[in-house]
Structure 1
């Protein structure tokens, strides 16, 4: 079973940059998007064989998530069920007989960390949400989590210390998330791999120089560890300031 996660930095924009060729070539069972930046009705996608689910931000051209899947879920939930967190289209949960799949676009703490306090409340709420789900079924969550966990996860760790995405506070919250019973699948397979990133600034030729950050993740509840096959970062795919990431895992559901 193949899962893809990609912050597309605007679905309408990436559709003009060969998105459909990438989508068809990857042929994923689940294709999760973040930062779709659109409202209902602005895009109609012809995706034969896929069920489509979107969560839109109330603010136009901002945030938003989507999942395209070959497997019809038992249930679909949008958001965390907490009003303060559910106006920006940041979360979709699909429920299947044996697991939950979540796509997540974690809030950025922004310049001068002006949204760090809010980010901390989001991180606590998200951790509680996925932990509670994991008490019932296995959990897979993915997306742009807007944090480089360790120094190994970005090119310039010293100069970025205390910047959004690499503050001690954000990194500690991610540690707490993993400690709640989850596995960072890329690090599970490649614990010491350096120089592999999923996001690069559009400035300073960052992608050309590979001055990037690994802030996109597939995480699974620990009970799925023995079912993991591989985790990949698809750095050769362009179209966004992020590249897609991939999780290969044993089949967990029958196609319907």
Structure 2
């Protein structure tokens, strides 16, 4: 791929052997880490030098956790996003505020940058098809009605869920718990998305999930866009 978006890096750049990244063909790599060591963090690796790099959103409580970085190119802007999880009541409240403020931020950003691709870990399953057991998980953060409604509204605000644009089949997931042999049994959640802004619809060529790649409890997913 030309661009790779990473979430939950849990590292500062000085803790990473960047020579291996560069040797793999990505001389341009950009990191945005959380203030708290070993927590959160995002990065983007690129074969091409961007026109501009935007670190964070300018919203302090978001940027403190290092959850957003964007590269601007001539024809497209690519953002790596790591939405918070709602592991307890306090974090769920934080997540819901983040979601609301992020929507406002993106609404304003699209006025200047309409050709936007937001890649990342959204920590939300959108529909029942996106989770292995929608009934038992209906009251679990990541599949709460309020979270699912927000994600639906986010898509309706002018984005394409690129994977579902091409694939309407069930049992396609991007995250599996380490417990109960979940991955081997494909008891997963699709919580990672490459959201593509509507003006880029004609540029979409394919979008796939790569579950055979075992790097973490998530697997890679990709979207291909073609420009003249």
TM normalised by structure 2 equals 0.94
Aligned to 1:237: 213
- How far, CA to CA, are the matches of 2:187 and 2:195 in structure 1? 24
1:10-25 paired onto structure 2 within 5 Å: none
In 2, Cα distance between equivalents of 1:229 and 1:171: 26
Which residue in the other structure is 1:194 paired with?
170
Q: CA contact under 8 A between 1:152 and 1:194: conserved in structure 2? A: yes
Q: Distance in 2 between matches of 1:91 and 1:219?
A: 14
The alignment status of 1:36 with 2:9, answered yes or no, reads yes
Q: Please name the residue that 2:109 is paired with.
A: 133
Give distance in 2, aligned partners of 1:66 and 1:36.
Answer: 7
Shift of 1:40: 3.5
Note if contact 2:12-2:31 (Cα within 8 Å) is conserved in structure 1: no
Q: Distance in 2 between matches of 1:31 and 1:40?
A: 16
If asked which structure has higher relative contact order (CA below 8 Å, sep 6+), I would say 1
- Deviations 1:8-36 (CA, angstroms, capped at 9, x unpaired): xxxxxxxxxxxxxxxxxxxx100110011
Which residue in the other structure is 1:18 paired with? none
Mapped contact 1:232–1:245 kept (Cα < 8 A): yes
CA RMSD of aligned residues (A): 1.3
Distance in 2, matches of 1:207 and 1:104, equals 24
2:123 aligned residue? 146
When the two structures are superposed, what TM-score results if normalisation uses the length of structure 1? 0.84
Gaps of 5+ in 1: 1-27
Structure 1 counterpart of 2:85, from 103, 108, 113: 108
Could you list the structure 1 runs, at least 4 aligned residues long, displaced by more than 4 angstroms after superposition: none
Q: Map 1:67-146; keep pairs closer than 5 Å.
A: 67-111=44-88, 113-137=89-113, 138-146=115-123
State the number of aligned residues.
Answer: 223
Unmatched segments (≥5 aa) in structure 2: none
